[in-house]
Structure 1
Amino acid sequence: MIHFTIHPRKKYKHPVEIKVDNTIIKPLDHTRYLGVIIDKQLNWRRHLDHIETKIAPRIGLLRYLSRTAYEPNSRTMINIFKSIARTIIIYGYPVLLTADRNVWNRIQIIQNKALRAALGLPMYTSVEYIHKISNIPKIKDYATTLLKQSIQTATTNNDITSKKHLQDILEKIL
């Protein structure tokens, strides 16, 4: 149970208590639902911390592979990036698409680190150059593309409810 609020320190005069089989369920500050960590302020900070923790060893692996390969092939390294890093970064994108710009900036920074590691580039390499040579879109653009593909799939499958919800998200971000 979570009490959602935009005021982090606001205390409720009459907080809701739920009792199930003589056990009181206390409200949490955050919870995990289908792999996405939702906090009571919906600022996604905990979820982003989780992504960074989970992706750090994968970035290390990408860096190791790019350094130890006899002749590192950038195309192969990009495919490895897509399979072991981008899947973690983009997980839960339909919910995150409505997040503010700061959340997406932080996710973009995570992707940039992973791409630099995969391509064996130094940390000072510009973001524009990384995306130009890798042909990888910025993460929010990629998430928007995935959302449009999901809308198309829902249309094809005549899933009116999913299509409506996904289109509502798309309208909010455009």
Structure 2
Amino acid sequence: MSSKKVDWKEWIRTIIITVAVFLLLRIFIVMPIVVEGPSMEPTLQNSDRLIVEKVSKHFTDIQRFDVIVFHATSTRDYIKRVIGLPGETIAYRNDKLYVNDEFVEEPFLAEAKQHLAEEESYTTDFTLAEDVPGNYETIPEGYVFVLGDNRPDSTDSRRLGLIPIEQVVGQALFTYWPINSWQWIE
């Protein structure tokens, strides 16, 4: 009879340790998220499930074109692509990104742009100073400028303004569901 008690104690201890490890991973290291809406198409689709890692933001700076998750409101997280970093000016002219008045290629938009007529723009013209809430000349320290990959249908920094880095939850790593669209996010 005592061996059965030991077996139950071992099972309970194993379950408690497993739950504790899972919670630590979920709270501090990675989290699952579901994409809601079309704002990151074609990179991410509505209802894609992905893993966001939360650690690297404490050790490395956010880079241009990272796909991040941030607290947009007290109840909603958004997923967008970092376009502008602290100290930079951002502008779009003739469907081209300019950072500090220098053209920057956006290869992840090639697929979406190939379906446009020649005279159509995928991203409407704007400048950081004139068209983005806050009317900043440059992005201040502690903030980033984000856009959705689906520029015609995205609520991003053009409407929300600059995103405080302290509101960044983490960087999207890969989609895991649906299984046939598993991919590393670049």
TM bracket, shorter-chain basis: under 0.3
Bigger fraction of residues in helix = 1
TM-score (norm 2): 0.23
Structure with more relative contact order (C-alpha pairs < 8 Å, separation 6 or more):
2
TM-score (norm 1): 0.24
Structure possessing the higher radius of gyration over alpha carbons? 2
